[in-house]
Chain A
Amino acid sequence: MTNAFPSGLRTRIEAILARYPNRRAALLPVLHLVQRERGFIGPEDEAEAAVLCGLRPVEVREVLTFYTMFRREPAGRHLLRVCTNLSCSIRGSAGILDHLRRAFGLQPGRTTPDGRFTLVEVECLGACDKGPCLLAGDTLHENLTPAALDAILRELE
């Protein structure tokens, strides 16, 4: 059973392939693209990405499972990545996780039952001077306080 990508996605993948002298080098960009479209990368997507990059599915899975940004299962509509590395810890990331738990019922590693949020603890996001910080999707939110968190999450449907 193949799950061939829609033609729009295929076109964008062809454009990516053209940027490299071999097909394998396009694998990470292709996986990013697929994850944006589908929300995660399932076994059929693995197989299709393998075909497009001239690989075996097992080679795709080797890559998929190495990099923490790739999801093999759907996440909530909004992925919240909170840094709890050293500098953010010093600046109070524990309080942020605490507030997310008490005010929104969010636990690291879990998705809310209504599928709205997935919360993940991550390592340094490179915004240490403005911690605590989190990525909501691709957007970086810095200098977090409980009030700021409330405002941010309210905007995320």
Chain B
Amino acid sequence: MAERPLTSTFDPAGPRSLEAYVRGGGYAAARRALAEMTPAAVAGEVKAAELRGRGGAGFPAGVKWSFIPRTDPGPFYLCVNADEGEPGTFKDRHILAHDPHLLLEGIILCAYAVGVHTAYIYIRGEYEEPARRLEKAIAEAAGAGVLGASVLGSGFSLDVIVHRGAGAYICGEETALLESLEGFRGQPRLKPPFPAAVGLFGKPTVINNVETLAHLPAVIRNGASWFLGLGKPKDGGTRLVSVSGSVVRPGVYELPVGTPLRDVVFVHAGGLAPGRTLKAVIPGGMSSAVLGPGEIDVPMDSASLAAAGSMIGSAGVIVIDDAVSMKTVLDRISRFYAHESCGQCTPCRVGTSWIRRIVLRRGAGEGRAGDLDRIVRLAGAMKGRTLCPFGDAAAVPILALVTKFRAELEQ
């Protein structure tokens, strides 16, 4: 139980009803927090637990909450980022499929800590069934007084509204999410100001990933030092690792922060099919730098993966064996970012488009000398030069791929 605090209570058959959730101890942490803790105490616990955002940016949740200016008249908003679009990532879908009330309890705790009375769950449009499931759980909760004018009888009011996206990966970026929620094109905003100061509808806003919030009930129930102890210093707890690609047992694995990537691939996900050898591993979703077979002895935590020249990102592990051509990998990566670029800023709008054109031409058998250098140059023109982190997301995987697999790509 303590090893997999988030997923061990999941019912493989489907989502837990409110009744089943409560029977399993659900909403007890929220009840206790609302009755016995101050908002500051809840926030302090989360900060001390060193819970990092699980969406991709990895920013410490407690620190993010602390940026909300308490003296602002508000209202404050919480946006739950359920846009899960990072290729190779499906852990939030997993949570929504099995335990929507876990998310709702996390939302209650965050809302209470920050002072939010309206929370929007921004869920990607393609997740229609999970969205309906969420709406059903919310209705259940509201009907039972778990949400609404007086959450669990505490007098604290909270409404949760599900809001669907419509097919744009960029809306996983927090300011693009806000733009989209407000009814605009999902184009990221200039920062500063940051959402904590000027967010949804211009009000102070916290944006947290589904999984980040899903960890909160256990943090409050068992305490910050317990959570921190499961992981590593400055990077506490367990995380849901999505494993896919050339593995025998793809799936979602809840593992302590700092689990070696090699173990993720070969122990938990069962390794490769018989006769196959490992060619590469993408550790943190498509936007992270690919690692070669000699580079997977790295702990899956924020600092270690950064030091290894990649990133933990969304912990979306994509395993690539020798049956997969790196040209296919380059093709999918270049196609994805060209398709998903919002088009606002020059380097990304033009860079992703031109990289795609070169890759397509090569795919059609018309490659020219110097193409890979051109691609590297174009990626370099995006890296660190764009209005939002999408530019890095588009550049970094391509730069890593060309650096580490040039010979195969050049054929």
Give chain A's interface residues, CB within 8 Å of chain B. 19, 21-22, 24-29, 31-32, 53, 55, 62-63, 66-70, 81, 84-87, 89-91, 122-131, 135, 138-140
Contact = CB atoms under 8 A, between A and B. Distances in A.
Contacts of B342: 66
A21 B168 contact: no
Listed from nearest, the 9 A-B pairs whose CB atoms lie closest are A67-B166, A128-B244, A129-B250, A27-B183, A69-B167, A68-B167, A138-B128, A24-B183, A124-B87
Contact of A126 (B85, B181, B201): B85
B181 A25 contact: yes
Interface string B151-176: 00000000001011111110000000
A45 to B, nearest CB: 15
Instruction: Report the interface size class on chain B.
Output: 35 or more
Contacts of B351: none
B169 to A, nearest CB: 7
B331 to A, nearest CB: 9
B34 interface: no
Given A84-B332, A90-B324, A126-B90, 16 more contacts: A22-B201, A25-B183, A28-B181, A66-B185, A67-B166, A67-B168, A68-B166, A86-B328, A89-B328, A124-B89, A124-B336, A126-B89, A127-B90, A127-B93, A128-B316, A140-B129
Q: Is the interface of A mostly helix, strand, loop or mixed?
A: mixed
B39 interface: no
A138 B252 CA distance: 23
Contacts of A31: 166
B85 A124 contact: yes
B405 to A, nearest CB: 14
B356 to A, nearest CB: 13
Contacts of B328: 86, 89
Contacts of A21: 201
